[in-house]
Amino acid sequence: MKNTARLAGLLTVLIIGSGCAAPISGQAKPGMAPVDLATLKTGAAVTEPTTFELKYSDTAKTVRLIEGRRLLDVLIQSIDVDPELSKRGTTRVFADGADMSKDDGLPEMFKAAVDDNHFIAGVTASRTNGSVRDTRGMHLSVLHFATAQDSKNAAAAMYQLSTTGERPRQPVAISGYPEANGSSGDGSAVSSFQAHGPFVVVVSMSQETPDSAGLASKIKKTLDLQLPALDKYRVIAPDDLLDLPLDPDGIMRRATGKSPSGDPYGMSYHEEDFGTFEPSGILHFERNPAEARKAFEEAGVDLIGRRYSTVYRTRDVESAFKLQTVLAKRGKSDTELAPPPGIADAQCVRLEESDPNRGYNGICVLVYDRYVAVVMSLATVSRASLQVDPILQERTAAQYAILKKSE
């Protein structure tokens, strides 16, 4: 978390009773240990598939967030710019300037520049190299505006704000992109604001040793990858976003819904990232992006649903077990947790570092047929060292029941 906090600082300068299921008979599929639903301990967790519905406390914003989640699928990966930038920071989906600035997002100073130019939705993701002595980081955002003129106006306004004020920055040229609006303070961090059609691509690169030219070359590489990806993106007008299926192939009903007893550690705040994703989109949330991407390809992952749990659809059950192994891989300081009683195939891990997006520090990864589910929990400091996480076990058992009942 120290590196995540450090990156956030540099960027500031830059600019989530008991319930039991009825027994269900049937033969276990190849590779899957048999599970008796009637014996699973699920606590207060939801054990039935639930319909996924959008929150309509702010209808216009909710609809625009659909566009934000779609944008995450085309946001490029930091490891394609610098393979060492694999330690995840925050990944955000937002639909207004206020939310844009939360949780290590873009600086609040840009709020008016965004909101005053017919902003629709945006995404941002950050990663570092995980080094304490020689920290390098990348923060990438794509902001979608109503028109190309709006994006140009926003990019110009953001650049103007970054080069004036109490700590003005100096212009930095980005080779091949004369309108990238690059700038730097002391050469240890370079940012740019490139308008491209109705989008603004905001890139911030940082490192310990000042080298504005070197950082500018990485921004060029980022734009070389991101702009063609946006050219292939199918823009959908906000009025037409509700015509898109909310739950293609029932992937969302397979993920865990809200418990009647309340949300897991207040995760309702994060419903902006509840929805369906392509492998490229969900990759921004993964701990080991290079390994996960390869595993997605090899397992034939083609659809992901993210709610209070995340469910991946693979090619077949054999592929699902291979993906499970990658998603449950332990880091050097992570520890193994006991699986839920009755689900021997589940792989559970206590994470040494909490997830930067949802704050959980425990996961269980389970397989049912061609589906892999990742279930999360947050243990207190006093319980984090224990090998058994009862809450995580109950949620995992409930997730298995949901997958079984979704057949």
- Residue 381: predicted pLDDT: 79
Same domain, 185 and 253: no
CA distance 168 to 172: 13
What average pLDDT does the chain have?
A: 90
Angle subtended at Cα 132 by Cα 128 and Cα 133, rounded to the nearest 5 degrees: 115
Mean pLDDT of 2-27: 42
46, part of any domain: yes
Distant-in-sequence contacts of 22-30, Cβ < 8 A, 24+ apart:
24/404, 24/405, 29/317, 29/369, 30/317, 30/318
pLDDT tens by residue, 59-83: 889 999 999 999 999 999 999 999 9
User: Would you say 203 and 219 are in contact if contact means Cβ atoms under 8 Å apart?
Assistant: yes
User: Would you say 183 and 160 are in contact if contact means Cβ atoms under 8 Å apart?
Assistant: no
Q: Taking the CA atoms of 396, 398, 399 and 400 in sequence, report the sign of the dihedral they define.
A: positive
CA distance 342 to 37: 8
Asked if pLDDT for residue 4 goes beyond 80, the answer is: no
Asked if pLDDT for residue 27 goes beyond 60, the answer is: no
- Boundary (domain end) residue, out of 198, 231, 264: 231
Mean pLDDT of 175-185: 97
Residue 319 C-alpha from the chain's centroid: 23
23, part of any domain: no
Same domain, 342 and 267: yes
Pairing of strands 136-145, 347-350: unpaired
Number of structural domains found in the chain: 2
| Residue % of the chain over a pLDDT of 70 | 89
Same domain, 113 and 76: yes
Same domain, 211 and 311: no
Asked if pLDDT for residue 15 goes beyond 50, the answer is: no
User: Would you say 45 and 394 are in contact if contact means Cβ atoms under 8 Å apart?
Assistant: yes
**Res. 12 pLDDT band, cuts 50 70 90:** very low
**Residue 70: how many other CB atoms lie within 10 Å:** 24
- Residue 383: predicted pLDDT: 82
Produce one character per residue of 201-211: b if its CB has 16 or more CB atoms within 10 Å, e if not.
bbbbbbbeeeb
24, part of any domain: no
Same domain, 78 and 211: yes
Same domain, 310 and 224: no
| Residue % of the chain over a pLDDT of 90 | 80
Same domain, 189 and 319: no
21, part of any domain: no
373: phi then psi, degrees, rounded to nearest 5: -120, 140
Among the listed residues 319, 274, 384, 285, the one whose alpha carbon sits nearest the alpha carbon of residue 31: 319
Q: Which residue has the tokens 């996961």?
A: 363
- Boundary (domain end) residue, out of 206, 231, 256: 231
Same domain, 257 and 362: yes
* β-pair partners for 88: 127
pLDDT tens by residue, 272-293: 999 999 999 999 999 999 999 9
Q: What is the CATH number of the domain that holds 111?
A: 3.40.1000
Same domain, 218 and 266: no
pLDDT tens by residue, 81-104: 999 999 999 999 999 999 999 888
Same domain, 264 and 390: yes
- Alpha carbons within 13 angstroms on the beta-carbon side of residue 356 total 25
47, part of any domain: yes
User: Would you say 151 and 199 are in contact if contact means Cβ atoms under 8 Å apart?
Assistant: yes
- Residue 350: domain span: 31-53+246-405
Same domain, 43 and 64: no
- Residue 386: predicted pLDDT: 87
167, part of any domain: yes
- Residue 55: predicted pLDDT: 78
12, part of any domain: no
Same domain, 176 and 156: yes
* β-pair partners for 143: 122, 200
309, part of any domain: yes
* β-pair partners for 194: 201
